[in-house]
Structure 1
Amino acid sequence: WNGPMNYAAWILYSLFSLNDGQAYVIQGKNFKTSQECVVFAKANIRGLGTTMYNELSRQYGEGNFVPLEIGCVPKKLNGSDDPKKRIPIVAMPRGLYPKVEDQGISL
């Protein structure tokens, strides 16, 4: 046993899909611990959701994307994300994830 996984940071993320059926991620604010990230996300979830919707509408056009999740994901010491350890704060029901899992993308 190697002990608990050490992470360089926890990152606030937004997961969304476009009409191409792929999943995309926007990463935001960094936190030292998962607790800091989760507390911030829960306290600010309405504003985060509104900001995400407005930014995606500006970039891709209203109706051309589906918000999937907002949550916290750990960043490993080597700089890569560890998506299997992510903590979704809000998530759409799986049935609304458009073809993302059919593409072999692990959520």
Structure 2
Amino acid sequence: NEGEKVLYIKRLRTANDLPIAVEESFLIKEILGSLEEHKLTGSFYEYLFYDKGIKPSKVVQEISSTLADEDTAALLEIDSGHPLLRITRLMYTTDNRPFFYLIFHLRGDMYSIKTRLNLL
């Protein structure tokens, strides 16, 4: 909502000391409360769920392809224009209020997505 304070966090994700993803998070400050920066080195979801007690009621996710811009390419140590996977997630509270928007840019040559769908 307009006028709400938002916390912005940008993190570089690595695996075996190689940069594989750039993660940008936007959180409603009123819902998050104070932030313990020393706990942000691991899973942000675990921090939200277990430390802060914030549990989403639903998540809307979109997966698409894109090309690396100059800034993202520099962080991921790839050429500008390199193929990336782009994942966006919007999480809602139990009272259906959006509180967490996430954008992942993942190296297309180092990442895959596997989904399990349970059928009736």
TM-score (norm 2): 0.28
Tell me which structure has the larger Cα radius of gyration: 2
Structure with greater proportional strand content: 2
TM-score (norm 1): 0.30
Structure with greater proportional helix content: 1
